């Protein structure tokens, strides 16, 4: 019963505010604040009349990779071959790592960190970019496997490090 009373009271207050003109006073105050920053709604045009700007382009990390399965196959074959022989759990860790880094996109550039490609190569951390690296899934995978082996020993060690730092 109390809830119904509160709802009815709230409805009456809203109706009173709407009919009293307080809402138009509030709306006029907002319009004047917008006019202070030269926004739409000043003068004769309103925001609805004004041509709305285009939606900003959204950047989604790791999307738009049309070669995802091909790149994963290249990675799986290279990881399973000598000298790595990484299969099963090590492959799962490698897939998790590079899926998080880039979704296996060789053309990706992270605008925040500068990391590039499938493996997240960062010139600021890793030195100059190897020849043929840019846009080449094979070159990136080969570099990444070698980097993981030299720096972490195995993909699972690199994945554990990445999970705690979001870098490797």
**SS3 track for 110-134:** CCCCCCECCCCECHHHHCCCCCCCC
What is the Cα Rg of the chain in Å?
28
Side-chain half-sphere exposure of 98, counting CA atoms within 13 A: 33
Looking at the structure, tell me whether residues 94 and 147 fall in a common domain: yes
DSSP state of 83: T
Instruction: Give SS3 for 98.
Output: helix
Looking at the structure, tell me whether residues 72 and 48 fall in a common domain: no
Looking at the structure, tell me whether residues 23 and 106 fall in a common domain: no
Looking at the structure, tell me whether residues 47 and 108 fall in a common domain: no
Does 39 reside within a domain?
yes
Query: What's the predicted TM-score (pTM) here?
Result: 0.61
Task: Tokens for 13, please give them.
Answer: 């207050």
Number of domains in the chain: 2
Does 59 reside within a domain?
no
Across 85-113, average pLDDT = 92
Does 60 reside within a domain?
no
Does 62 reside within a domain?
no
Looking at the structure, tell me whether residues 96 and 119 fall in a common domain: yes
For residue 115, the cross-strand partners are: none
Does 78 reside within a domain?
yes
Q: Tell me, what's the pLDDT at 60?
A: 46
Looking at the structure, tell me whether residues 96 and 24 fall in a common domain: no
Looking at the structure, tell me whether residues 76 and 49 fall in a common domain: no
Does 30 reside within a domain?
yes
DSSP per-residue codes, 26-82: HHHHHHHHHHHTT-TTSTT--TTTSPPPPPPPPP-TT---TTHHHHHHHHHHHHHST
Looking at the structure, tell me whether residues 98 and 26 fall in a common domain: no
In which domain, by residue range, is 100 found? Answer: 68-165
Q: Which tens digit of pLDDT belongs to each residue from 55-98?
A: 544 444 445 566 888 999 999 999 999 999 999 999 999 999 99
Looking at the structure, tell me whether residues 77 and 158 fall in a common domain: yes
Across 27-37, average pLDDT = 72
* Higher pLDDT, residue 144 or 112: 144
Asked whether the predicted pLDDT for residue 45 surpasses 60, the reply is no
For 63, residues 6+ apart whose C-beta sits below 8 A from its C-beta are: 103, 105
What mean pLDDT is reported for the chain?
A: 81
């Amino acid at each position: 019963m109390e809830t119904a009373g509160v709802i009815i009271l709230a409805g009456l207050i809203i109706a009173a505010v709407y009919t009293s003109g307080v809402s138009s006073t509030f709306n006029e105050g907002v319009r004047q604040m917008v006019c202070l920053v030269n926004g739409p709604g000043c003068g004769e045009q309103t925001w609805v009349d004004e041509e709305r700007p285009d939606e900003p382009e959204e950047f989604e990390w790791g999307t738009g990779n049309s070669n995802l399965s091909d790149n994963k196959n290249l990675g799986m074959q290279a990881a399973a071959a000598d000298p790595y022989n990484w299969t099963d759990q090590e492959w799962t860790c490698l897939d998790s790592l590079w899926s998080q880094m880039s979704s296996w996109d060789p053309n990706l550039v992270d605008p925040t960190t500068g990391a590039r490609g499938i493996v997240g190569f960062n010139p600021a951390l890793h030195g100059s970019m190897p020849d043929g690296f840019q846009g080449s899934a094979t070159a990136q995978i080969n570099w990444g496997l070698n980097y993981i082996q030299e720096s972490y020993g195995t993909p699972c060690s690199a994945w554990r490090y990445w999970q705690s730092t979001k870098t490797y």
